[in-house]
Amino acid sequence: MRNWTKFLAGLAAGGFVLSATAALADEIRVGITMRMVSENGQKYGQMVMDEIGLINEAGGINGHQIKATLMNDECKSDKGVANANKLIFQEKVHLLIGSTCSSVSLPIVDVTAKAQVPQIIPHSTNAQITQKGSAWVFRVPVSGRFYAGVNAKYVGENIGKKIAYICAADAASQNDCDAMQAQMKSQHGTDPAYVAQVQEKEVDFRTHMQKIKSAGVDGIMVAALAETMSRALIQSYEAGIGSDVRRIGSSSASNAPVPKISGDAVKGVFYAAAYSNADTRPIAKLFNQMVKDRYGIHAPDHDFSQAYDLIRIVEIALNNSDLKLTNSSLAADRTAIRDAIANVKNYQGLASGPISFCADATPQCRDGNKTPVLIAYKKGGEEFETEVLARVSMPEDFGL
Amino acid sequence: MDFDFGSLLAFIIFGVTIGVVYGIVALGISLIYSGLDIVHFAHGEIYMFGAFLGLVLSQQIGIPYPGAMIGAMVLAALLGMFIERVFYRRLTRSGGGYTVAGMGMIICGFGMSVALMNVAFLIWGADAEPFPVEFGIEPLEINDISIPPSYLLTAVVSLCLMGILNYFLRYTKIGLAVRAVAHNKDIAFLMGINVPLFISLIFGLACALAAAAGVLVGPMQSVQVEMGYLMLMKAFAAAVVGGFGSLPGALIGGILVGIFENLGAAYISASHKDIYAFLLLILVLMYRPAGLFGVVAKVKA
């Protein structure tokens, strides 16, 4: 009798282990690393998780559930790389989504290339991300090289050519600043009237603003993360620089904290982004309402839309992948997902233009969205308003 | 950039306006150092808490800005006294300064800094919060320089606070008792002064000053959980430059740090603006180790 009990217990334990292993092998594992220190940052991550949850509720991908693991990298490259390593080597994810900040995505590209794991980027704009030549990386947002081209064209034709630059030290802002200066030079033959390299979280711009005021510029480009940009915008007015000097934002001007913190100082600021909440398409109106209802956000910025588009693209790619999902097929499944993402063509979602990828490990193939939209703030504060100035589709090799 | 005196004047004015803020935070650090023989590493977070309290009182409860500042000072003082009474007193009883307990105080200060930052994060989140204040006065225009009312107010209020503190310490009986405790706790105790109570008072006073600085800086730079760290560093630099423990030294040190970093940013490079404050600190330590107004510290037994 005692032997029978032992046998049954062993059978039950073995069955449990086998079923657990089978469950692990049968699911699609997706790792996500994003910056989730701010209120909006947490909601971007939440949106990704919610959308994956909805896919699972609807039956999953070809009958397979998606197991998503969301990690916070706090916009710190060391944490981002640690997250990527954990997700790839411990969680054994089939696909990595991340990150928000360019300074985090850049080193992760090397990790995913070496481990041969497909990586799809939700928010980072630094042009170098896709210029590293990794066959495993895809970018949903518009690359900084396209933003710079549109900004420079608009500035040169409508504002003037004497531009001052305030460039924060984070990777995205540095890239936006450098690319804009290069485009102003190549399109209009002008050098910067003034350039200030400032720290990522600089709080005091008064010295720069005094110098910019003395220089008598036509416009000021502030390339910085949201909070730093807001401080610079406010202090530019405090220094007595009038509204006739136009303020140009980097792509992070799209983030909701900018109009919230800047208040009236954001009025007239224009920037290039991948989505405008002033978009009148029915899909955009539905999305705006959904984000408002679900997350209590007055108007979603382009990081919300990009997170949403990314999940739709991942859904398409996973549906088109022939996945075995066994322990031994991990490498083959990763390759299948990469190839399926590379086959996504002409995806029409919330983004300003169609998103297409292809197989070559070049920026032309891997920068999916090539259509920046030029947006200006009409009103600041929590209930901010924007208007679309232009929407421009760029040639795929622009800025290379 | 071409040199002109208008710009130079502007940079000096900007330096003074932020320098007096460094000065009042440094005053608090010096006060605590005088009273408790410890360096309080969580003082930056008290400054941050003060800014948030001012923001809540002003923007959410609707108290006018001056009232919000006083309210934030009172609440921060109470918070400081609570922290001192509950967490620090046990350690300070065993001695401060260079003793083992003094080292414990330093570590406890670091821990308190992290704890306060996380509490603030839980309450207010990580986003920067705008602190718009309508001062109702036009910016002061001097030639090509525009000095916003918030900068003027910061300088005036900071100087007034320092004046009031100076009067309080020099010309009131309580101030005299505070100075006695700072000078020698044992003798002060023998003279009938309630030393623990006065140590709490010193701590509360220092925290109130930090809160005032936070409420003053809020409208200029917005309010954020991480704002305390850099201010603490600058205030330390100011306190060391002026002479640790010297109250006038803290003010002068703060103004010097403010001017030095603004001129450095303007005429050398703005990319690493924070370096200049510490460069000044190193220079002062090399040539006047006790600071400009300090006295050479006696090694404790």
Whether B262 and chain A come into contact, CB under 8 Å, resolves to yes
**Structure token pair of residue B257:** 């740090």
pLDDT at A193 (0 to 100): 94
Residues of chain B in contact with residue A238, where contact means CB-CB under 8 angstroms, are: 139, 146, 148, 150-151, 220
Tell me if domain A7-142+282-369 and domain A145-278+373-391 are identical in fold.
yes
Looking from the CA of A260 toward its CB, the CA atoms found within 13 Å total 20
Asked if CATH classification 3.40.50.2300 holds for the domain at A7-142+282-369, the reply, yes or no, is yes
| Alpha carbon distance A398, A149 (integer Å) | 8
The CATH topology of domain A145-278+373-391 is Rossmann fold (3.40.50)
Q: Do B270 and A207 touch (CB under 8 A)?
A: yes
| Contact: B10, A210; criterion CB under 8 Å | yes
Mean pLDDT computed over B104-125: 89
How many other CB atoms sit within 10 Å of the CB of residue A389? 17
Q: Which residue positions in chain A have pLDDT lower than 50?
A: 1, 20-23
The answer to whether B117 touches B48, Cβ cutoff 8 Å, is yes
Residue among A169, A206, A257 minimizing CB distance to B128: A257
Give yes or no for a contact between A45 and B132, defined as CB atoms under 8 angstroms apart.
no
Question: If you average pLDDT over residues B170-185, what whole number do you get?
Answer: 88
Which chain A residues touch B if contact means CB-CB below 8 Å?
37-41, 169, 196-199, 201-204, 206-208, 210-211, 213-214, 226-227, 230-231, 235, 238-240, 257, 260-263
Is the predicted pLDDT of residue B75 greater than 80, yes or no? yes
The per-residue pLDDT for A15 is 57
pLDDT at A191: 94
Over 60: is that where the pLDDT of B97 sits? no
pLDDT at residue B16 above 70?
Answer: yes
- CB environment B273-285: b (16+ within 10 A), e (fewer): bbebbbebbeebe
**B139/A240 touch (CB, cutoff 8 Å), yes or no:** yes
Q: How would residue B98 be classed by pLDDT, with cut points 50, 70 and 90?
A: low
Between B246 and A42, the higher pLDDT residue: A42
A210 three-class SS: helix
Q: From CA A273, how far away is CA A62, in angstroms rounded?
A: 34
What are the sequence ranges of the domains in chain A? 7-142+282-369, 145-278+373-391
pLDDT number for residue B301: 40
**Quick one: pLDDT at residue B101?**
60
| The residue type at A315 | E
Domains of chain B: 5-126+143-286 (1.10.3470)
Helix axis angle, B173-183 to B5-36, nearest 10°: 70
**Is A211 in contact with B266 (Cβ distance < 8 A)?**
yes
Q: What is this structure's pTM?
A: 0.79
Q: How far apart are the first and last CA of chain A?
A: 77
- What per-residue confidence (pLDDT) applies to B109? 87
For A306, residues 6+ apart whose C-beta sits below 8 A from its C-beta are: A122, A123, A140, A141, A274, A275, A351
Compute the distance between CA of residue A288 and CA of residue A220 in angstroms, rounded to an integer: 30
Q: Does B143 touch chain A (CB under 8 A)?
A: no
- Ranking A374-378, B8-12, B81-85 by mean pLDDT, the lowest is B8-12
Q: What average pLDDT does the structure give for chain B?
A: 86
The pLDDT assigned to A58 comes to 95
Q: Say which amino acid occupies A314.
A: V
**Residue with the two structure tokens 């999953």:** A60
